[in-house]
Amino acid sequence: MSRVGTLQFGPRECVRHLREQNERTPYQRIGLRPLSPTIGAEISGVDLAGVIDDKTFAEIERAHLAYKTIFFRDQDITTEQHLAFARRFGELEEHPFLPAKPGYQMIVRFAKDEAVKGVENIWHSDVSWRERPALGSVLRAVEVPRVGGDTLFSDMVAAYQGLSGELKARIDGLKAVHDFAQSFGAGLDPKTLAEKRKEFPAVEHPVVRTHPVTGQKSIYVNAIFTSHIVGMDRQESDDLIDTLCRQAMIPEYQCRFRWETNSIAFWDNRAVQHYAASDYWPQPRIMERVTIIGDRPA
Ligand code: SIN
């Protein structure tokens, strides 16, 4: 069979009902402009530096669950306000490998320039190697390149729904191992690696996870941290992970965000993978990320 013969063209029906679900309920407290039918919505009418009343907060939370990644513009907030907004969604995590903002252990600072290139240009979901991976992350742009440095987000619920019935049946009930060492292990000396392995042993998570709030199923393996499928021959496991990871690359499941200084993205890490385009070097790009701890995938 030719290569083209194996590809799927035409409308992706799986996107339709997610779009219809999102269009069903209007928002009264916030403005909302979808970036794509299923993932990504820009929120307006909210000042994250001010007091967010409970009704407005509930709508932000609903938009976050429905669109899986929400964006805010022109949020000239302090670091404390950034932390306070994220804290309303849960307990914050400290990242053991990425550089923190000086004086703020709970803030990861991605500071890129001529000397430090962007390497987050691989589809992934954050900290899947933890027993309790992130609920989501709130990422703020401190300094952005004149052009480039967009972040792309992919809807892993749509990606799951787009799989064939045969593939869904094949992955049902499978577990995969996630391991920090696949990526963060590379720069560690053997002694530190051994210590970190003790602190963060490899974990097993379901290949298809069910969202704890929406009940939606999504693909939960990613190209950075998933090492293998439990109980499967290595080649078969690699091929299956590869097939599942490639679903994140399908444009119909994605949105793409163009940053401005003081833009904020807040993604639902339980249902989304992301990719930071590394096309801006040697221009500087500085981002600050606060991550909320989630629950154990089930
Ligand atoms: C990340 O992978 O969390 C960073 C995303 C970005 O810098 O856009």
| CA-to-CA dists, residue 172 to 46, 160, 168, 218, 238, angstroms | 41, 11, 6, 11, 17
pLDDT of residue 4 exceeding 80, the answer is no
Q: Which atom of ligand 1 is nearest to the CA of 118?
A: 7
Mean pLDDT of the chain: 96
Q: Cα(245)–Cα(110) distance, rounded to whole angstroms? A: 24
Q: How many helices (H) and strands (E) does the chain have?
A: 7, 16
pLDDT at 3 over 70: no
Residues with CB under 6 A from ligand 1: 110, 120, 126, 139, 151, 274, 276, 287, 289
Spacing, Cα 253 to ligand 1 middle (Å): 18
Residue 108 is assigned to a structural domain of this protein:
yes
> What is the structure's pLDDT at 9?
80
Q: Is 274 a catalytic residue?
A: yes
Number of domains in the chain: 1
CA of 187 to the centre of ligand 1 (A): 19
- pLDDT at position 11: 87
pLDDT above 90 (res 187) = no
In a domain, 187, yes or no: yes
Is residue 98 situated within a structural domain?
yes
Residue 2: what pLDDT? 57
The single residue of 126, 155, 179, 268 carrying the catalytic annotation is 126
- What does the pLDDT average to over 262-282? 98
170 found inside a domain: yes
184 pLDDT above the threshold of 80: yes
Supply the residue whose CA is at minimum distance from atom 2 of ligand 1: 120
User: Cα of 176 to ligand 1 centre, how many Å?
Assistant: 24
Residue 124 annotated among the catalytic residues of the structure: yes
Per the structure, the complete domain to which residue 151 belongs is given by 4-293
Is the distance from CB of 105 to CB of 276 less than 8 angstroms?
Answer: no
CATH code at 184?
A: 3.60.130.10
pLDDT tens digit sequence for 222-239: 999 999 999 999 999 999
pLDDT value for 5:
59
**Closest ligand 1 atom to 120 CA:** 2
- The whole-angstrom separation of Cα 264 and Cα 289 is 9
Residue with CA closest to ligand 1 atom 6: 276
For the record, the structure tokens of 138 come out as: 């709130």
pLDDT range class, residue 134, cuts 50, 70, 90? very high
Choosing from 124, 140, 178, 228, the catalytic residue is 124
Mean pLDDT value of segment 135-139: 98
Mutate which of 287, 290, 291, 292 for ligand 1? The one with the most ligand atoms within 8 Å of its CB, which is 287
Whether pLDDT at 29 is above 60: yes
Residue 160 lies in a domain: yes
State yes or no: is 53 an active-site residue.
no
> Looking at the predicted structure, is the pLDDT value of residue 191 above 80?
yes
Give the whole-angstrom CA distance, residue 31 versus residue 42. Answer: 8
State the pLDDT confidence band at 8, using cuts at 50, 70 and 90. Answer: confident
**Is the pLDDT score of 180 beyond 80?**
yes
pLDDT in tens, 141-171: 999 999 999 999 999 999 999 999 999 999 9
Cis peptide before 282 (omega within 30 of 0): yes
**Whose alpha carbon is nearest atom 7 of ligand 1?**
276
Average confidence (pLDDT) over 197-211: 97
**Reported confidence tier of residue 106, pLDDT bands at 50, 70, 90:** very high
Give me the sheet containing 151-155, strands edge to edge. Answer: 254-257, 151-155, 272-276
User: What confidence score (pLDDT) does residue 47 get?
Assistant: 97
**Closest among 298, 171, 295 to 245, alpha carbons compared:** 171
Closest residue to atom 1 of ligand 1, CA basis: 120
Query: Residue 229 has what pLDDT?
Result: 98
Where does the pLDDT of residue 72 fall: very low under 50, low under 70, confident under 90, or very high at 90 and above? very high
More confident site: 142 or 7: 142
Q: Pairing relation of β-strands 264-268 and 69-72?
A: antiparallel
Q: What's this model's pTM, rounded to 2 decimal places?
A: 0.96
Out of 64, 95, 209, 274, which one is annotated catalytic? Answer: 274
